[in-house]
Amino acid sequence: MVNEDAKKVWDYLDEHKDEYIELLKKFCAQPSVSAQNWGMREMAEMVRDTVTELGGNGTLIETDGNPFVYGMIDNGAKRTLTLYNHYDVVPPEPYELWNTPPFEPTIIDGRLYARGSSDNKVSLLSRYIAVDAYQKVLGKLPINIKFLAEGEEEIGSPHLMQFIHDNMDKVQSDGIVWEGGSRVTNGPLIVHMGVKGVTTFSIKCSHPKNGSSPMWRLIWALNSMKNADDYITIDHFNDSIAELTDYEKEFVHKAVYEEEATLKRNGIDHFIRSLTGEALKDKLYSEPSMNIQGLFFDEIDETTGMPKSAEVKIDIRTVPNQNPDEMMQQIRDHLAAHGFDDLEVCGGHSTLPYRGKPDSLLARAVIKNVEAAYGEPPIVLLMTPGSCGMARVVKATGIPIVHYGCMDDSSKAHAPNESADLNHYIRGAKLSVLMFQDFATLE
Ligand SMILES: [Zn+2]
């Protein structure tokens, strides 16, 4: 049962649904393509003005790239929640694949079609309209809210960490609702709170020690690093991996994984090790994986017919508590110990893994209320196989992060005909209303 106060706010959201949809249309009609530097300032100002209208004193904080929008509703409350979103979108091309123009928001069968509708404007506004409706109906929120929106998420958030280091006071809070978040179309909401990390590196062979082809040297070395059952066999590689606790396993096993559809989509008849069910999910969510991106050579030596040097590019999807620097050292030590001291390991870039904490205040305040807003309990993922910068933020701030948002499996984010489900938009706001209340009171 939803409490009386929340019910009043929910009614307000329903009664003003059309206005809120108009606001979303206005946001989607404004191009904000960071990769093409198109409309960024105008979009930032639109977000800033919306934050100001909510009582948050919106300001633009300049960086060497696109500005951050920041604002705060300070109610002198005990707890503060940060709403982190992004106002940039990916490029709309190729135009010819769109059924409606990407920056002319069009509603068809309850979905709003536009570039950026689902990623991330619907989630951003769903949170903002929850604040709006709450304040209009009940006055002060029981918590303080910090609004933070960046304009470079789709180009890798190059200034996010700098911003956080320079503005720790503006991020400091008891929980961060992260951008994005999705739902099985017309099905359960997915609450997720962590990501795998990624570490890229390359191994080079320029001076094969026994006159073999540099390409063979790499192939033999690679063969010692992973076996045909997809187990990584680098010495000591698995020592630091934090195993799932029984509590965490419960969440992993409850996650939905569409085995049949995935097999079909990839044209394969079984997964590696013939895994299925819980074991397959354990692997997906808690085991690192290592991928060869490609093997390259520069030039063929005409006298020997061998490449003069060769290189392999690799990425590893990491899990807690794997550390990129430690891993690079393990790989170097492994190669040396197996006779490959003529190979050179060059580190690339890394994002860190982070497994979320379902017992954090924010996670509990979200999870507890999903069934009331959506009619069924959520799928809770402590970590998703994708990678993003959120772990860096948790590491830098120590603040727990949760994603729950208004995309769904039909949204086609980043693709032509991107769309957002408008009922999901309002339900998301209703969930936020309940979350605000519990975020203030849960012990
Ligand atoms: Zn995106």
Residue with tokens 């989630």: 123
**Distance (Å, whole) CA 319 – CA 385:** 9
CB 314 within 8 A of CB 345: no
Ligand 1 centroid to 132 CA: how many Å? 25
- 1 to 5, 201, 326, 343, 373: CA distances (angstroms): 12, 52, 50, 64, 10
The pLDDT of residue 254: 82
**Distance (Å, whole) CA 186 – CA 234:** 43
CB 28 within 8 A of CB 114: yes
Ligand 1 centroid to 318 CA: how many Å? 21
Ligand 1 centroid to 86 CA: how many Å? 9
Ligand 1 centroid to 258 CA: how many Å? 23
Task: Please write the tens of the pLDDT for every residue from 279-299.
Answer: 999 898 889 999 999 999 989
The pLDDT of residue 387: 67
Ligand 1 centroid to 342 CA: how many Å? 41
Share of the chain above pLDDT 70, in %: 100
Task: Please write the tens of the pLDDT for every residue from 176-200.
Answer: 999 989 998 888 999 988 888 999 9
Tell me the pTM. Answer: 0.85
In this structure, the strands spanning 80-86 and 175-178 are parallel
Ligand 1 centroid to 295 CA: how many Å? 29
Q: 389, 400, 402, 403: which is closest to 351 by C-alpha?
A: 389
Ligand 1 centroid to 427 CA: how many Å? 21
Task: Please write the tens of the pLDDT for every residue from 70-107.
Answer: 999 999 999 999 999 999 999 999 999 999 999 999 99
Ligand 1 centroid to 179 CA: how many Å? 9
pLDDT under 70 in the chain at which residues?
Answer: 387
Ligand 1 centroid to 206 CA: how many Å? 39
On the CB side of 157, CA atoms within 13 Å amount to: 21
How many residues in the chain?
A: 443
Rounded to the nearest 5°, which phi and psi values hold at 117? -60, -50
CB 350 within 8 A of CB 241: no
The pLDDT of residue 143: 98
Ligand 1 centroid to 117 CA: how many Å? 11
Ligand 1 centroid to 155 CA: how many Å? 9
